[in-house]
Structure 1
Amino acid sequence: MRIFLDANVLVSVLNKEYPLFTYSSRILSLASHPNFEVYTSPLCLAIAFYFAEKKHGSVLAKQKMDLLCQHIKIAENSSKGVSDTLSNKKIHDFEDGLEYYAAYQKDCKCIITEDIEDFYFSNIEVLNCQEFFKQYLR
């Protein structure tokens, strides 16, 4: 199963934000499971780095990002994704549209985010960490 992690899930892992870390870290660990492919986008990584850098400083934030990127796959933010976001009248938040189309182009079956309502336009299943955990990892 291909899953896409939104920036807020990455931030919770990088910054050990409880209680979400309990679920988000276990979901991220699926990157080493043969039945899962875990994706995020360069945009999500940039957002996650921003918050990790604020909490841990540049050097440690880069180390954390390097470790993270060794384990997950990166879906592109492509020119087609930009065009699709701009032309989709349902999408009001450009960033969410870019993330959605990055996940869509990699055929992800689920977007995991703590801001489910941001993806109201999605044709991909959207779950928060706890819901994903209950539905797929019991």
Structure 2
Amino acid sequence: MPVRTLLCDINFFLDIFLKREPFYTPSARLFKKIENNELTGYLCALSFPTLFYLLSKGLRRDRAIRTLEKIRVVFRVAPVDEKVIDLSLASDFEDFEDAVQYYSALHVKADCVITRNKADYKDNAIPVLTPEEFLATLEI
């Protein structure tokens, strides 16, 4: 099976590093598969500052930085360039951040977006799946 490429949204990481139940276990399983190079994972460049802010509300600053460093080692960074911004601005997405993540995923040729906020993504060119749904595709 070829390595599949995923773009994971912020909630995926918060579920893991803040141990948010009941979402922790499937997200942690998926993270481990990416860490083991069974899959290729991306995080949108725009997400790093937001993720730092949200993590630092639940963790000390130094722990939030170490967490981002771990994420950066395991995940590639999906760039946000003029094309991604232009497509996001012209899109029908209600949430601009979701639009930027989606078009960043397309930019890196991701096979799907991993999120728990599927309702925010409509009429997609690539699948938008929860961690549980994606893991189920690996078991088929």
What TM-score, normalized to structure 2?
Answer: 0.90
**CA spacing shift, 1:6–1:57, aligned 2, 3 Å:** same
The answer to whether residue 38 in structure 2 is matched with residue 30 in structure 1 is no
Aligned to 1:114: 116
What do you get for the CA RMSD once the two structures are aligned?
A: 1.5
Measured against aligned partners, the alpha-carbon deviations of 1:20-55 in whole angstroms (never above 9, x if no partner) come to 110101111222344421111122222222221000
Aligned to 1:59: 62
The gaps in structure 2 that reach 5 residues or longer are none
* Partner SS state of residue 31, structure 2: helix
How far apart are 1:92 and its partner, in Å? 2.4
- The answer to whether the Cα contact below 8 Å between 2:94 and 2:120 also exists between their aligned partners in 1 is no
Aligned to 2:21: 18
How far apart are 1:70 and its partner, in Å? 0.7
Among all aligned residue pairs of Structure 1 and Structure 2, give the percentage whose two residues are the same amino acid. Answer: 23
Amino acid at match of 2:87: D
How far apart are 1:120 and its partner, in Å? 1.3
* Partner SS state of residue 55, structure 2: helix
How far apart are 1:91 and its partner, in Å? 2.2
Aligned to 1:39: 42
In 1, the alpha carbon distance for the partners of 2:41 and 2:33 equals 7
- The answer to whether the Cα contact below 8 Å between 1:30 and 1:38 also exists between their aligned partners in 2 is no
* Partner SS state of residue 94, structure 2: coil
The gaps in structure 1 that reach 5 residues or longer are none
Amino acid at match of 2:107: Q
The answer to whether residue 82 in structure 2 is matched with residue 49 in structure 1 is no
- The answer to whether the Cα contact below 8 Å between 2:9 and 2:43 also exists between their aligned partners in 1 is yes
* Partner SS state of residue 124, structure 1: coil
Amino acid at match of 2:105: A
Q: What is the number of residues matched between the two proteins?
A: 137
| Deviation larger for 32-41 or 55-64 | 32-41
Amino acid at match of 2:72: C
Which consecutive aligned stretches of 4+ in structure 1 deviate over 3 angstroms post-superposition? 32-35
Aligned to 1:131: 133
Aligned to 1:100: 102
Measured against aligned partners, the alpha-carbon deviations of 1:51-94 in whole angstroms (never above 9, x if no partner) come to 21000121110011111111111100111100011122x22221
